[in-house]
């Protein structure tokens, strides 16, 4: 028998503006929940092209970007480029330094891009590693369906005996995308040492007898080995939510914007490295992305056609 975790804290994420024309609901990374080690930030974003996140740096952590609707183009100073479509993810380790752009693709239907971005701290010994990427395509993600009311995309980890793709990033996190119909319930196991939270993208949940509305973030205590919740029978439509867990790091978190270190001295040093183009930021000198002014679905199709011709 597994023991359910109790609720440590819960609140609704409030919409705010971020980047250039992006609207986000931020749960982790706010005054209500500054961080939840190893997690530094979680944004539920909606971005309408040509707005987005033009050229910007990162240091000392990893990001997990999950596209729910629309398309996102990516480009960085290492020459890495790509496009995420609905259901795709990108695991990016910034390590010692990266400058990149994340811009929604202007699609033919002109609908906004919707997704999730999670920031995950790196242990001190990995903060100066080389940048690393792993795109996870929708068709690579295994799906568990324990009954007719519960479906879970096993992005990272194991649910109901179904295991995910392995070795997605430098630091492992468990990441599940659940859809539960009215009257359904779920139980997701985690190591007792993990910090675990969930975020409701659609519908509502009843967690340990407490009703949680759409856009709520629920943080759990480490007093059990599973989280469980149910969708009220009376609810109209299914609920969709992510459940995420990871091993806390025994180290200070000193964050200033896109730089995350373990001391203020290292933050100052990183700023100097970025401004002078050294110690990981050498390629930042004079670099600017091709997508910073926007990209269309027609552009993406043309680029993919050129790549096929080269093969």
- Consult the annotation and say whether 100 binds a ligand: yes
Q: Is the distance from CB of 256 to CB of 40 less than 8 angstroms?
A: no
**Cα–Cα distance for residue pair 72/266, rounded to 1 Å:** 32
Phi-psi region of 60 (alpha: psi -120 to 50; beta: other; left: phi over 0): left
Burial degree of 139 (CB within 10 A; 0-12, 13-18, 19+) = exposed
Q: Which helix (H) or strand (E) holds 259?
A: strand 259-261
The tokens for 36 are 């939840």
Helix (H, G, I), strand (E, B) or coil at 110: coil
The tokens for 51 are 């707005």
DSSP state at residue 208:
T
**Cα–Cα distance for residue pair 200/217, rounded to 1 Å:** 7
**Cα–Cα distance for residue pair 241/180, rounded to 1 Å:** 9
DSSP 8-31: EEEEEPPEEEETEEEEEEESTTSS
The four Cα atoms 95, 100, 102, 105 give a dihedral, to 10 degrees, of: -140
- Consult the annotation and say whether 256 binds a ligand: no
- Consult the annotation and say whether 58 binds a ligand: yes
The total of other beta-carbon atoms located within 10 Å of residue 211's CB is 10
DSSP state at residue 131:
P
- Consult the annotation and say whether 17 binds a ligand: no
Q: What are phi and psi of 269, to 5 degrees?
A: -65, -40
Q: Which residues are annotated as a binding site for Fe cation?
A: 56, 58, 100, 102
Q: Which residues are annotated as a binding site?
A: 56, 58, 100, 102
């Amino acid at each position: 028998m597994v023991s359910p975790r109790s609720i440590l804290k819960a609140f609704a994420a409030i919409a705010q503006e971020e980047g250039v024309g992006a609207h986000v609901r931020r749960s982790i990374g706010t005054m209500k929940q500054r961080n939840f080690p190893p997690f530094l930030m979680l944004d539920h974003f909606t971005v309408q092209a040509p707005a987005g996140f033009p050229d910007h740096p990162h240091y000392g952590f990893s990001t997990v970007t999950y596209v729910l609707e629309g398309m996102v183009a990516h480009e960085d100073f290492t020459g890495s480029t790509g496009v995420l479509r609905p259901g795709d993810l990108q695991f990016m380790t910034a390590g010692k330094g990266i400058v990149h752009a994340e811009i929604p693709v202007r699609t033919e239907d002109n609908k906004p891009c919707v997704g999730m971005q999670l920031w995950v701290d790196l242990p001190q010994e990995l903060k100066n590693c080389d940048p690393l990427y792993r795109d996870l395509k929708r068709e690579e993600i295994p799906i568990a369906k324990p009954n007719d009311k519960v479906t879970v995309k096993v992005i990272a980890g194991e649910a109901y005996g179904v295991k995910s793709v392995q070795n997605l990033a430098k630091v492992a996190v468990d990441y599940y995308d659940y859809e539960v119909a009215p009257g359904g319930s779920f139980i997701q196991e985690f190591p007792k040492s993990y910090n675990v939270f969930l975020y409701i993208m659609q519908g509502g949940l009843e967690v340990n007898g407490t009703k949680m509305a759409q856009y709520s973030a629920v943080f759990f205590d480490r007093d059990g080995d599973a989280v469980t919740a149910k969708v009220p029978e009376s609810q109209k439509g299914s609920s969709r939510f992510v459940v995420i867990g990871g091993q806390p790091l025994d180290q200070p978190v000193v964050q200033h914007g896109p730089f995350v270190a373990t001391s203020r001295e290292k933050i100052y040093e990183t700023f100097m490295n970025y401004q002078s183009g050294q110690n990981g930021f050498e390629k930042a000198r004079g670099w600017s992305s091709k997508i910073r002014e926007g990209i269309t679905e027609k552009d993406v199709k043309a680029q993919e056609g050129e790549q096929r011709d080269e093969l």
